[in-house]
Structure 1
Amino acid sequence: MPVRIHLDDQLHRRRMTLTELSEAVGITLANLSILKTGKAKAIRFSTLEAICRVLECQPGDILSYEGDDA
């Protein structure tokens, strides 16, 4: 998938665990884990907004697009 998730980098930067983020955002740990591992097919803007608010970052800090060379 050419869209990459950099949630681990932002969590490390904020010295926060996935469990702490889950509690702060109000999203289940299982759903955040799916997002973190890149297995999510979609993300709601409200979820992205909440994550960015808690981690004090921009959506581009969490998501990047790495296009196919083909």
Structure 2
Amino acid sequence: MLKKPETLFVLGYMLLPLFALISAIVGLTMILGGNRIAGIIVLIVVTQVFTFGAFFALRKRKAVLLQEPDAGQ
């Protein structure tokens, strides 16, 4: 499943950055709402996990695309 460039494209450019943005918003609202420790944990840990996941998916997609023989040419 994670060897298809289409799946890695969706993960790297759409889903994981969206989840990172949503978790950053949730973390900031938790901090502003009074849950400072939990908000900082969400803001730092969870957001970074989604961000690095997106970078990993994009790097893996690039590697998969470079390995594939050119079928259309």
Q: TM-score category by the smaller chain?
A: under 0.3
Bigger share in helix: 2
Give the TM-score, by structure 1 length: 0.27
Bigger share in strand: 1
Give the TM-score, by structure 2 length: 0.26
Structure with the greater relative contact order (CA < 8 A, sep ≥ 6): 1 or 2?
1
